[in-house]
A and B are shown apart, each in its own frame.
Chain A
Amino acid sequence: MTRPLQGIRIADFTVHNAGPFCTNLLSQLGAEVIKIESAMRPDAFRKPHPVYGRMGPATFDQVASTKLSVRINLKLPEGVALAKRIVAVSDVAAESFRPGVLDRLGLGYDVLRQVKQDIVLLAVSSSGQYGPDKHFAGYAPLFGAWGGLSDLTGYEDGPPVEMRHVMDHTVGMNAAVAVLAALHRRDATGLGALVDVSAREVASSLLGEALLLAAAGGEPKRMSNDHPRMAPHGVYPAAGEDQWLSIAVANDSEWQALAGIIGVDDPRFAHEATRHELRRELDLLVSRWTATRPADAAAEQLQAAGIAAHASWNTVSLTSDKHLRTRRALVTVQEPDGKERAAVGVPMRLSKGADIGIDRGTPKLGEHEDYVYGELLGMSSAERKSLEAAEVIF
């Protein structure tokens, strides 16, 4: 078995969500990711954020798993020099500061290229590395707002809907693809790369068809749960409080199967276009059937008849699902303190890479300095102690 990214090392300066999720995916594929923080400025997501209405950290455990952790105080020139030593033995450097911050730290792309000629620098930001809005601060809900995705999401008579962490993480997954593309070119040509991932542009890329429609003079709008073609198509009440069943009927034969199950015999619904016109009437008929049935059982019955259906799952259902566990999309991770928690794996199965995935849980701040500073950089104990005393390793 082979981990695809074995031999790749990443100096990881990313913080918050999008960048760390990217490097976490790459670590699960075999890259050695060295997360660089300091006690003075730990990753903001190690800390709680009361604006979320809770006191625990956000997604830090998930995105920090399988990474190595070292402390460097980048406020000091010696800290910057130490960071360069890590970059010099890395293939990729990754950052998610606001544009300009890395330059101000003395670690900009031109500097890093002098340290490592073929370095791939991944820069993840809200609006990209150049352009009039490059300085804009932002988080996931803002990316979705800028990019148009949130404006098109919601009830047709309601306000736009905030994108949450799925937005951050899709930026991270896009960035991971981009890093592999840049490494592919580096291997072929010896060229490094500056990879510029703008989160708001990732949001826009997920509505490319609507943007094209707008470019042609059309007016895409919020559609609730409607589909522009399919009917029935929606989220229907199931038995029990706040239980729901999603159903999508893709063609006339699937409708015939559904009509037989829910007991509807009405020739008006035979053809898709008419069903779509009458979709509100149809929704009532479907709801009448679903409302008395447990969502999972109803989904199984519909799937057996060839109809796309699935219960609306919360995390209790997700974490106990055999299918997701079999696929290792969901795994149990043991933290250094012995506690176990559910985590998501890297979303793929490789026929020659069964060992991909999370190796270990959240690293403590500076947990891997013996390896990184001692073995990797060949630093003596005396030098380390000196740098610790000077609050460079801090």
Chain B
Amino acid sequence: MSRAPLNDLHVAVHAKGVAAAYAARMLRGMGAHVVWVEPAGGTPLRSEPPFLPGEAQVSALFAYLAAGTTSQTCDLQGEEGRAAFGALLSQCDILFDDTPLAERMALGVDEAAIAARHPDLIHVSVLPFGATGEKAQWKGEEINIQHASGEGYLLPNGLSVEQFPDRPPVKIHGHFAEMQGGIAAALGALAALRARGLHGGQVGGQYVDISCQDAMLSVGAFAIQRFGDGSVEHRVERSFRYGGVLPCADGFVELLTLEQRQWDGLVELLGRPSWALDPALADSLERSRRGPELNRHIRAWAAVRKVEDIVREGQKLSVPLAKYNSPAEVLRDEHEKVRGLFQPVEVPGAGSLDMLVSPIQFDGRASRL
């Protein structure tokens, strides 16, 4: 088995934001051919921080999002540019576009215009709140999407909210919610592509409407289910009763034991202290009730030990424990080296850098750009 799964697909992306760009990037990581459609000055993503070290102001964000793609300049406000764009689309299977609704007709990228000219194209609209519904025209940056979907209200939790209970909620790093929009867009694109081949190909292309808010809400499904069960989740109460973020002598580890055997392993890891051998703690409900007491013991134990030692010995006992890795530590991680998660990629203006290509492997091999 040799070919990347999507190496017969041709994708165009016309994007100012992360979500649509990430959709194309995901498909690129699985082998698709991706062409950026950019105005003469380039997409604004090219000048979005963070920048790589050096004076060239190379956007790390754009370098990651556009890795392995090509670019075609098209001025969609002019006849010539639109003709070139149309010619490109005639060769493409999928278009990802995040043009705000109010600007689409003027650029010829509205649903009707695209469908009329390219009936077999999968046209994926990617917007903060989608292309239909009363908020379709609303603006939404990453932080707004996280809060519009509920997860923003629920962070931080655990040790962080314990230490800073009165601070405003804090967002997940980077572009998490926009990337969920991108992943949903990639899913929608491939689903529509599959539909295109059904019924002898009679379904044809279609319009896929993606909302980053919907996508982020979707991955936050747990809180919605809890609401159905009668609970309104809150960041202060959503901490694990014991375990969670443990400060150690040289960093932090995460501990989460859900199964009885994992608790048993933890007791072994702790050296079978007398408090942990209390027969009442064999009952998971009792452990939950006495969570703060347990955590005092566990934290005191962890505080004088090194992260690597705790994780290594704990995982031997099948206790779910993980080191809180910094980005530099992820890059150096032996496991990821073996798996080829990072590969040298030529970044214009910055040279060859190790870059994460794809978190998904097919046929036992890391994906290549």
Partners in one complex: yes
User: Is B225 touching A343 in the complex (CB atoms < 8 A)?
Assistant: yes
A130 with B139: CB separation less than 8 A? no
CB-defined contacts of A3 to chain B, threshold 8 Å: 195
Whether A170 lies near B187 (C-beta < 8 A) is: no
Stretch of A68-76, A77-85, A100-108, A158-166 at the chain-chain interface: A158-166
- Point out the residues of chain B lying under 8 angstroms from A135, CB to CB: 315
State the majority secondary structure of interface residues on B: mixed
CB-CB under 8 A from B183, the residues of chain A are 170, 173-174, 177
CB-based nearest B residue for A243:
B153
Find chain B residues with CB under 8 A from A303 CB. Answer: 138-139
By the criterion CB–CB under 8 Å, are A153 and B173 in contact? yes
Let me know if A205 and B245 touch, CB within 8 A: no
Residue of A149, A182, A230 touching B5 (CB-CB under 8 A): A182
B144→A308 contact, CB < 8 A:
yes
What is the CA–CA distance of A227 and B157 in the complex, to the nearest angstrom? 21
Contact A159 B247 (CB under 8 A): yes
Given contacts A159-B252, A162-B244, A194-B362, contact A327 B132 (CB under 8 A): yes
A181 CB–B CB distance under 8 Å: yes
* Chain A residues near B359 (CB-CB < 8 A): 174, 197-198, 201-202, 204-205
The segment from A212-220, A258-266, A365-373, A386-394 found at the interface with B is A212-220
Measured between beta carbons, the chain B residues less than 8 angstroms from A10 are: none
- Complex: chain A residue closest to B156, CB-CB: A161
| A202 to B214 CA separation, bound complex (whole angstroms) | 20
- Closest residue to B138 on the A side, CB-wise? A303
Q: Which of A146, A182, A250 contacts B322 (CB 8 A)?
A: A146
Which of A4, A160, A164, A329 is within 8 Å of B218, CB to CB?
A329
> Could you tell me the distance between the alpha carbons of A130 and B167 in the complex, rounded to whole angstroms?
42
Please tell me if the beta carbons of B221 and A131 are within 8 angstroms of each other in the complex: no
In the complex, whether B273 has a CB less than 8 A from a CB of chain A is no
B191–A150 touching, CB < 8 Å: no
Query: A346: nearest residue on chain B (CB-CB)?
Result: B218
Q: What chain A residues lie within 8 Å of B30 (beta carbons)?
A: 177-178, 181
The distance in angstroms between the C-alpha atoms of A201 and B325, with both chains bound, is 12
B233 touches A315 (CB 8 A): yes
Q: Confirm or deny: A336 has a beta carbon within 8 angstroms of a beta carbon on chain B.
A: no
User: Are B63 and A212 in contact (CB-based, < 8 A)?
Assistant: yes
Say how far A85's CB is from chain B's closest CB, in angstroms. Answer: 25
CB of B97 within 8 A of chain A? no
Q: Using CB atoms, name the residue of chain A closest to B284.
A: A50
Given known contacts A2-B198, A53-B241, A145-B322, is B147 in contact with A235 (CB within 8 Å)? yes
Contact B206 A352 (CB under 8 A): yes
Q: Does B106 contact A (CB under 8 A)?
A: no
Residue of B nearest to A192 (CB): B1
The 0/1 profile, CB within 8 Å of A marked 1, for residues 356-368 of chain B is: 1011111110000
CB proximity to A under 8 Å, residues B218-265: 218-229, 231-234, 237-238, 240-245, 247, 252-254, 256-259, 262
- Is A318 touching B169 in the complex (CB atoms < 8 A)? no
Do residues A145 and B331 form an inter-chain contact, with CB atoms below 8 A? no
Would you call B188 an interface residue if the criterion is a C-beta within 8 Å of the partner chain's C-beta atoms?
A: yes
> Using a CB-CB cutoff of 8 Å, which residues 308-347 of chain B contact chain A?
315, 318-331, 334-336, 338-339, 341-342, 347
Minimum CB–CB distance from A273 to chain B (whole Å) comes to 11
Question: Any chain A CB within 8 A of the CB of B267?
Answer: no
B12 at the interface (CB under 8 A from A): no
A29, A242, A318 interface centre (most CB from chain B within 10 Å): A318
Q: Mark A341-367, 1 if CB is under 8 A from B, else 0.
A: 111111111111100000000000000
- Taking the nearest CB of chain A, how far is it from the CB of B127, in angstroms? 11
CB distance from A33 to the nearest CB of B (A): 15
- What separation, in Å, do the CA atoms of A188 and B190 have in the docked complex? 14
B232 in complex: contacting residue of A56, A152, A227, A316, CB < 8 Å? A316
B176 at the interface (CB under 8 A from A): yes
What chain A residues lie within 8 Å of B284 (beta carbons)? 49-51
Q: Which residue from chain B places its CB closest to the CB of A16 in the assembled complex?
A: B258
Inter-chain CA distance A187–B188, complex, in Å, is: 18
Q: How far is the CB of A183 from chain B (nearest CB, A)?
A: 7
Identify the stretch in B33-41, B77-85, B285-293 within 8 Å (CB) of chain A at 4 or more residues: B285-293
- Contact yes or no, B143 A246, CB < 8 A: yes
Considering the complex, give the chain B residue whose CB is closest to the CB of A173. B183
**B323-A146 in contact (CB<8A):** yes
Measured CB to CB, the closest approach of chain B to A277, in angstroms, equals 14
In A284-336, the 8 Å CB interface with B consists of 303, 306-316, 318-319, 322-324, 326-327, 329-330
Tell me if B52 and A212 are in contact (CB < 8 A): yes
Would you give the shortest CB distance from A290 to chain B, in whole angstroms? 11
Check A196 against B206 for contact (C-beta < 8 Å). Answer: no
Q: Which 9 A-B pairs have the closest CB atoms?
A: A341-B228, A248-B141, A50-B288, A169-B219, A142-B322, A180-B190, A201-B359, A152-B173, A329-B214
5 contacts between A and B (CB under 8 A): A158-B156, A161-B170, A213-B52, A235-B170, A311-B148
Q: A178-B362, A196-B360 are in contact. List 19 more A-B contacts (CB 8 A).
A: A2-B198, A56-B229, A130-B364, A138-B320, A164-B238, A173-B183, A180-B190, A180-B191, A188-B8, A198-B361, A207-B327, A212-B353, A214-B326, A306-B139, A327-B133, A329-B218, A347-B184, A347-B214, A348-B210
